[in-house]
Chains A and B, each alone.
Chain A
Amino acid sequence: AQTVTQSQPEMSVQEAETVTLSCTYDTSESDYYLFWYKQPPSRQMILVIRQEAYKQQNATENRFSVNFQKAAKSFSLKISDSQLGDAAMYFCAYRTGNQFYFGTGTSLTVIP
Chain B
Amino acid sequence: DAGITQSPRHKVTETGTPVTLRCHQTENHRYMYWYRQDPGHGLRLIHYSYGVKDTDKGEVSDGYSVSRSKTEDFLLTLESATSSQTSVYFCAISEGPRNYGYTFGSGTRLTVV
Binding site for B on A (CB under 8 A): 4, 6, 33, 35, 42-45, 47, 50, 91, 95, 97-100, 102-105
8 A-B Cβ contacts within 8 A? Answer: A6-B42, A43-B88, A44-B107, A45-B102, A50-B100, A98-B96, A100-B92, A102-B35
Contact yes or no, B101 A35, CB < 8 A: yes
Contact yes or no, A100 B102, CB < 8 A: yes
Q: Is the interface of B mostly helix, strand, loop or mixed?
A: strand
Given contacts A44-B107, A45-B90, A99-B58, 10 further A-B contacts (CB under 8 A): A35-B101, A44-B104, A45-B102, A45-B104, A91-B43, A99-B48, A100-B43, A100-B45, A102-B35, A104-B42
Q: Tell me, yes or no, whether B70 is within 8 Å of chain A by CB.
A: no
Contact-size category for B: 20 to 34
Residues of B96-113 at the interface with A, using a CB-CB cut-off of 8 Å, are 96-97, 100-102, 104, 106-107, 109
User: What 0/1 pattern do residues 25 to 51 of B give for CB contact below 8 A with A?
Assistant: 000000101010000111111001010
